[in-house]
Structure 1
Amino acid sequence: MNVSRWPLAGLLLAISVSAQAADPTAVYGKGGANTAAMACVTCHGAEAEGMAAAGFPRLAGLSAVYMQRQLADFASGERANPIMQSIAAALSPEEADAVTTMLANKPRPDVERIGRTAAAQGLGETLALRGAWERNIPECVSCHGPGGVGVGDSFPPLAGQSAQYLSSQLIAWRQGTRKNDPNDLMGHIARGLTEDEIKAVSAYFANLTDTGAGR
């Protein structure tokens, strides 16, 4: 698995780095498809809901500030991906702001806000709701919010993202190819997880439905 997995590559490859990209409707369009809109839909779905089978994450409803920060980190090389680095570096601040604002305003899936008081069954659910404090690994919901719905501009949603994407990012943090988290928080957590734990906790969040129960 590619550890970076192009979190915004499919989207940004679709954007002509020109004045057209400054208009959010040029990315997804309003009625009638255009080249940019078709390319975005191909990678991230009609509503930017992501394509799990291909490992492309959901972008709809993510914080615009968070996505802008990721673009800046790709451009600087802080987050490693040679394809994303060149694309992000070519975007003007206005273009990055326009596309991330548009994506942030897309509907996000409804997920029941399950917190630490819920019963935890299975390895993935235990890590998500209880953590592994004997190894100084906090529960995921302590930072990413009840049900993994995300908190503010620093902790993105986990619920509903594909297991392939989530596990790829944990592996990237563990290997040090992604290191743009505050105080190496995710790096520490990822290095403490086994392969089975990475798969289990990724599958747990990927399988949350709008009622908060696994599919």
Structure 2
Amino acid sequence: MQSTALRKISRLFAAGGLALAASSCSPNPEPSRFDDTGQLVALSGGNAGAQSACHTCHGLDGAGDGNLTPRLAGLEAGYLARQMIFFSDGLRHHAAMSWIASQLTSEQRMIVADYYAGMEWQPADLQPAVNYVCDGNAARLYQLGDPARGIEACATCHGEDGRGVGFGNPDIYGQPAPYVATQLRHWREGERYGDPMGVMLREAQRLEEDEIKPLADYVASLRGMSRRPGYREGCPEPRRPDSRNGA
């Protein structure tokens, strides 16, 4: 009887082992609907908690608030992930963002950056810059720079229409003027770092305070994907100096 009982127990263990092997070796296991995704991190806040969910400030469409909170939709994923690292490491300062970025894992930063990078953002979504007033000097600074002061044209890195040139140089069209002005001051005052070779730090420090708001207004007026900025009536397109055209 004992040998019969042992044989039964052995058969049960063998059957159980086969079942476990079959379940663990399934070629396409059913993905869990609770697996982390970029959207889930944006909506839940990931490790930072629900009170820090990205959408509460940046909106469900990633468009920002039109004031001091920037657009994230459509920005390059690597750029977004680097900014979160900068916030976490103290190269950028913002009480909420610095804490949130420090709580997210590297994987959460990457997947939420990919999520926002994949959001569609069309120029048609843009609203006219609030209280925009044509400033010829701002247009020249953006498109041509100021060689006499050693200021390089913003368009060199950010594109003549604000769409950005290459990786690492973000497209800035559609960003709110108050946000752009704040960031220029942060660069100028040494409160923000992390740009390649210190370009933004250097260029911003060469700006005068009274040039910052007009330049930010001009940036907010750009219309991406047009290949040229949308100049307002009475705001002529700046041209490079040429003795033949009398400019």
Say whether the fold is shared (TM-score over 0.5).
yes
Identity of counterpart residues, as a percentage? 37
CA RMSD in angstroms comes to 2.8
- Alignment of 1:49 with 2:66, yes or no, is no
Larger Rg: 2
**Aligned counterpart in structure 2 of residue 105 of structure 1, from 112, 118, 129:** 118
Q: Which residue of 2 aligns with 1:84?
A: 97
- Alignment of 1:189 with 2:206, yes or no, is no
How far apart in 2 are the matches of 1:197 and 1:154?
25
Secondary structure at the counterpart of residue 148 of structure 1: coil
Q: Which residue of 2 aligns with 1:146?
A: 160
Query: How far apart are 1:68 and its partner, in Å?
Result: 0.6
Q: Which residue of 2 aligns with 1:11?
A: none
Q: Which moved more, 1:205-214 or 1:181-190?
A: 205-214
| TM-score normalised per structure 1 | 0.75
Amino acid at match of 2:84: L
Amino acid at match of 2:153: E
Q: Which has the higher contact order (CA 8 A, sep 6+)?
A: 1
Secondary structure at the counterpart of residue 146 of structure 1: coil
Q: Which residue of 1 aligns with 2:230?
A: 213
Q: Which residue of 2 aligns with 1:8?
A: none
Q: Structure 2 stretches of 5 or more lacking a match?
A: 1-32, 44-48, 125-133, 233-247
Q: Which residue of 1 aligns with 2:169?
A: 155
**Aligned counterpart in structure 1 of residue 190 of structure 2, from 176, 180, 194:** 176
**CA separation of 1:51/1:20 partners in 2, compared to 1, >3 Å: closer, same or farther?**
farther
Q: Which residue of 2 aligns with 1:93?
A: 106
**Aligned counterpart in structure 2 of residue 70 of structure 1, from 77, 83, 87:** 83
Query: How far apart are 1:135 and its partner, in Å?
Result: 0.7
Q: Is the 8 A contact 1:26 1:37 kept in 2?
A: no
Q: Which residue of 1 aligns with 2:142?
A: 128
How far apart in 2 are the matches of 1:49 and 1:176?
27
Q: Is the 8 A contact 1:21 1:99 kept in 2?
A: no
Query: How far apart are 1:213 and its partner, in Å?
Result: 1.3
Deviations 1:32-74 (A, max 9, x none): xxx9699544422331112113x11000010110011111111
